[in-house]
């Protein structure tokens, strides 16, 4: 007799009056909000604007949901298109079935569209949201607990999960809670990325690649424990091969990126530092768009040449302003003006007024 185990809910749906609240969908929604919240904090810390992560998530999340569902339906098509199955069930996403590989791939496409519209480099955005995605996966995996799915081999360990349903090939009993293993692993990956990002100042998509590599490493051994129906290639489940391939690609990207583009992006969002949009170029250094606070070299000419108006040149001729300001006066004598009258006389003051 089992002394302890994790009980499964009798139903994955709670009803708020006539409104059904499905545990699987609830976990996905909470995960998305946490990912956006954490990604926003990291984006601001890197020099971006508040709200940018959420704006781009409007593109990334729907693309990710579609991609995750497509991957699941394509790789497990027999669940929806074989004899006795209803193909309409392929659209019932609330019943479970999201492939993380398709979600990340198509979600990245949506993020790229959002980043392109904002003039933001996708790798910098990916680095900011990487730990949040891992946390979102950790929360979302509990949706499998509500649906009593994706468990591992039979076990009598104290933390085994109890399966009570017998539909869709399930056998009541206690099994390895692979959803719990993956949830805890994803939390560890998020902490690893946050630490490595601070320690090594990761940039140009390397924090995101570290998340991908870390997740794939855990997914490989967790996938190996699962007993649900799956396609096999050379004795390994399809997702094992996918995790291995993606892991190698992520590690290769980290190595090549570190060699070609070391360090981190200096600017992640154009115009974020001065509070103006990237297209706002109306302000110039030293003044605003109206011309206020103009530089000294743009001052009127009379302010610059006032000294020349009262000082004679080496030849004893009037200054520049005297010539320009008194075109009708006769040519002055060869003697300096201040030799005619004592300094400070009315004529001396009048000379400045005439200029």
Q: Which residues are annotated as a binding site?
A: 141
End-to-end CA distance of the chain: 112
Dmax (CA) for the chain in angstroms is 126
Residue 269 contacts residue 235 (beta carbons within 8 Å) = no
**DSSP of 309-355:** HHS--TTS---HHHHHH-TTSPPPPSS-GGGTS-TT-HHHHHHHHH-
**Angle at CA 188, nearest 5°, toward 41 and 177?**
125
Residue whose C-alpha is closest to residue 34's, from 104, 131, 167, 99 = 131
Burial status of residue 238 (CB atoms within 10 A of its CB: 0-12, 13-18, 19 or more): middle
């Amino acid at each position: 007799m089992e002394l302890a185990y994790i009980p499964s809910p009798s139903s994955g749906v709670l009803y708020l009056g006539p409104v059904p609240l499905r545990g699987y969908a609830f976990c996905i929604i909470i995960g998305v909000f946490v990912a956006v919240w954490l990604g926003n904090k990291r984006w601001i810390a890197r020099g971006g604007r508040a709200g940018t992560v959420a704006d781009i998530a409007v593109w990334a999340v729907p693309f990710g949901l579609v991609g995750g569902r497509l991957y699941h339906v394509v790789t497990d098509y027999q669940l929806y298109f074989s004899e006795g199955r209803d193909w309409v069930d392929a659209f019932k996403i609330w019943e479970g079935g999201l492939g993380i590989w398709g979600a990340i791939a198509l979600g990245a496409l949506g993020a790229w569209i959002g980043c392109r519209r904002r003039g933001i480099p996708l790798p910098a955005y990916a680095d900011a949201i990487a730990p949040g995605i891992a946390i979102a996966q950790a929360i979302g995996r509990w949706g499998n607990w509500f649906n009593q799915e994706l468990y591992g081999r039979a076990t009598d360990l104290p933390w085994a999960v109890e399966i009570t349903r017998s539909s869709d090939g399930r056998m009541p009993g206690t099994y390895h809670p692979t959803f719990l293993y993956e949830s805890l692993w994803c939390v560890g990956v998020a902490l690893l990325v946050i630490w490595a990002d601070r320690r090594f100042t990761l940039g140009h998509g390397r924090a995101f690649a570290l998340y991908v590599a870390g997740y794939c490493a855990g997914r490989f051994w967790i996938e190996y424990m699962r007993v649900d129906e799956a396609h096999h290639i050379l004795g390994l489940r399809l997702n094992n091969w996918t995790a291995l391939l993606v892991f190698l690609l992520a590690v290769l990207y980290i190595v090549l990126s570190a060699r070609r583009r070391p360090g981190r992006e200096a600017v992640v969002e154009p115009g974020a530092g001065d509070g103006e949009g990237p297209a706002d170029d109306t302000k110039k250094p030293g003044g605003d768009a109206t011309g206020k606070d103009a530089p000294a070299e743009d001052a009127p000419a009379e302010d610059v040449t006032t000294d020349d108006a009262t000082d004679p040149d080496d030849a004893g001729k009037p200054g520049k302003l005297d010539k320009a300001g008194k075109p009708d006066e006769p040519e002055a004598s060869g003697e300096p003006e201040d030799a005619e009258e004592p300094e400070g006389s009315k004529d001396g003051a009048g000379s400045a007024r005439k200029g």
